[in-house]
Chains A and B, each alone.
Chain A
Amino acid sequence: MTSTNNTWRTPLVILTVGCIILTLSMGVRHTAGLFLQPMTTEHGWSRETFSFAFALQNLVWGLGSPFAGAIADRYGAGRTLLIAAALYVLGLVLMSVSPTPLTLDLSAGLLIGLGLSGTTFPVIMGVIGRHTTPEKRSLALGIASAGGSFGQFAVLPIGQMMISTYGWQSALVLLACGVGLIAPLAYAMADGHKPSAGAGQSVVEALHEASRERSFHYLFWGYFVCGFQTAFIMLHLPSYLVDAGMSANVGMTAVALIGLFNIFGSFYFGWAGGRSSKKNLLVWIYGLRAVAIFVFMLIPLSTATAWIFAAVIGILWLATVPLTNGLIAQIFGLRYMSMLTGVVFLGHQLGSFLGAWLGGRIFDETGSYSLAWSISIGLSILAAICSWPVNEKPLARLSAAT
């Protein structure tokens, strides 16, 4: 790993702090659904009112990511994290006292969405990427992804326990306190990075350069498919199992298995990305997802097959994150890594939005999820095909600078 100017701000410290920040930001976000019932019951809102605020949050999160990344690249990750954490905390606190649907949209939708843009993968991965050598970068990004995966897995039951013990309003404030810890941690991420290759490039030039590279478009659409599949499966798999006559417990265990194996998968593919071709691994991941879903559809559904499917999909879940982010760094360099990963993350969020919405829409129209599963298989094959021609070589500009 590369050395830093500050003796205490070592790559290990930055990686550890990055993991903690991702655990907090991704974990707290994952508890959102737990507040639906108590909030709608207390305020007399419809589920659609609550859902709209979180659909808005997903879009703001995606749309805000390129901007948060650009701000981090221009003014530093520390300041970006600090401001984003403040917005996230403010959003959670205001959400706890939101009296109307509009204030819920502004707090849970806009403020938390913006907070997520600045405290999740694009900003954190940029700092970690800059502080690691190319050989160890993929592993480091994999460990950070595993941190986010751990947050999604661990904070959900904690959030539930908080609501049961202290009530939903206090639980939101307590979660806000947890997110508030990002503010002091941001100091460790204030690396004051001094870019080497691409230093003379402006944000617009970097975007223009990326938009002319086919590989960037392939990564964008691959990530779109990733978002589509993860949102669809996470939101609709439990319903699919219950519709097939299984108990809710089977669905819940399937979700827990996805979360658990996601941690190992993120770590493994991050490690593997440092040893072999990242784009080939992406082809494998998207290809295996298609195979896993196809086999799951083909064989008779049982508790065992549902759990095996959950474990396999869990391994492939956020495994795309270290590989896609690693490829961005490898091809375009580190100068605008946060912004460019923010742009492809926008693709992920658009896919998530479509996967969540379309899954429900197809079920409402046809009475089954069969078509949605088929679309998921087709998209997975397309993503595998899209990942194959990605050119992993650094741009000529970077080769000339070294």
Chain B
Amino acid sequence: MNPNWRWFIGGVCIALALLLLAAIFVAYQMPELLIDWANLRYCG
């Protein structure tokens, strides 16, 4: 594979991975999850 393409695809993958992590992080702000977090304490 052309090295330029390799860097481009690598960069896109890293950007998508960071976007995914950011989206998951935002998902933790769901109010339902906040309520249910109390339950996690009982289940380790």
- Give the B-binding residues of A (Cβ under 8 A): 32-37, 47, 50-51, 54-55, 58, 153-154, 156-157, 160-161, 164, 231, 234-236, 238-239, 248-249, 251-253, 255-256, 260, 263, 352-353, 356
Contact between B37 and A157, CB atoms less than 8 A apart: no
B residues 7-30 touching A (CB-CB < 8 Å)? 20-21, 24-25, 27-30
CB contacts between A and B, total, < 8 Å: 86
B1–chain A nearest beta-carbon distance, Å: 15
Query: Which of A157, A164, A235, A251 has the most chain B CB atoms inside 10 A of its CB?
Result: A157
Contact between B34 and A249, CB atoms less than 8 A apart: yes
20 sample A-B contacts, Cβ–Cβ < 8 Å, listed by A number: A32-B43, A32-B44, A33-B36, A33-B40, A36-B42, A47-B42, A50-B42, A55-B44, A58-B44, A154-B24, A157-B24, A160-B33, A231-B44, A235-B44, A238-B38, A238-B41, A251-B37, A252-B33, A252-B34, A256-B25
- In the complex, what distance in Å separates the CA atom of A181 from the CA atom of B13? 24
B43 touches which of A51, A236, A249, A253 (Cβ 8 Å): A51
* Interface size of B in residues (CB-CB distance below 8 Å): 21
Contact between B43 and A33, CB atoms less than 8 A apart: yes
- In the complex, what distance in Å separates the CA atom of A252 from the CA atom of B36? 10
- In the complex, what distance in Å separates the CA atom of A198 from the CA atom of B37? 47
Considering only CB atoms, which chain A residue lies closest to B28 in the complex?
A256
A286–chain B nearest beta-carbon distance, Å: 21
- In the complex, what distance in Å separates the CA atom of A65 from the CA atom of B4? 45
- How would you classify the secondary structure of chain B's contact residues: helix, strand, loop or mixed? helix
Contact between A238 and B44, CB atoms less than 8 A apart: no
B36 touches which of A34, A47, A54, A353 (Cβ 8 Å): A34
Contact between B21 and A164, CB atoms less than 8 A apart: no
A261–chain B nearest beta-carbon distance, Å: 10
B6–chain A nearest beta-carbon distance, Å: 15
Contact between A253 and B40, CB atoms less than 8 A apart: no
A140–chain B nearest beta-carbon distance, Å: 18
Considering only CB atoms, which chain B residue lies closest to A48 in the complex?
B42
Q: Does B2 contact A (CB under 8 A)?
A: no
Contacts of A47 in B (CB 8 A): 42
Contact between A260 and B40, CB atoms less than 8 A apart: no
- How would you classify the secondary structure of chain A's contact residues: helix, strand, loop or mixed? helix
Contact between A33 and B41, CB atoms less than 8 A apart: yes
- In the complex, what distance in Å separates the CA atom of A34 from the CA atom of B37? 7
- In the complex, what distance in Å separates the CA atom of A47 from the CA atom of B28? 24
Query: Which of B27, B42, B44 has the most chain A CB atoms inside 10 A of its CB?
Result: B44
Contacts of A37 in B (CB 8 A): 35-36, 39
Contacts of B36 in A (CB 8 A): 33-34, 36-37, 160
Considering only CB atoms, which chain B residue lies closest to A58 in the complex?
B44
Contacts of B25 in A (CB 8 A): 256, 260
Contacts of A251 in B (CB 8 A): 37
Contacts of B38 in A (CB 8 A): 238, 248
Contacts of B43 in A (CB 8 A): 32-33, 36, 50-51, 54
B23–chain A nearest beta-carbon distance, Å: 9
The 5 closest A-B pairs by CB, nearest first: A33-B40, A157-B27, A36-B39, A256-B28, A33-B43
A253-B28, A260-B25 known; A157 and B33 CB under 8 Å? yes
Contacts of A32 in B (CB 8 A): 40, 43-44
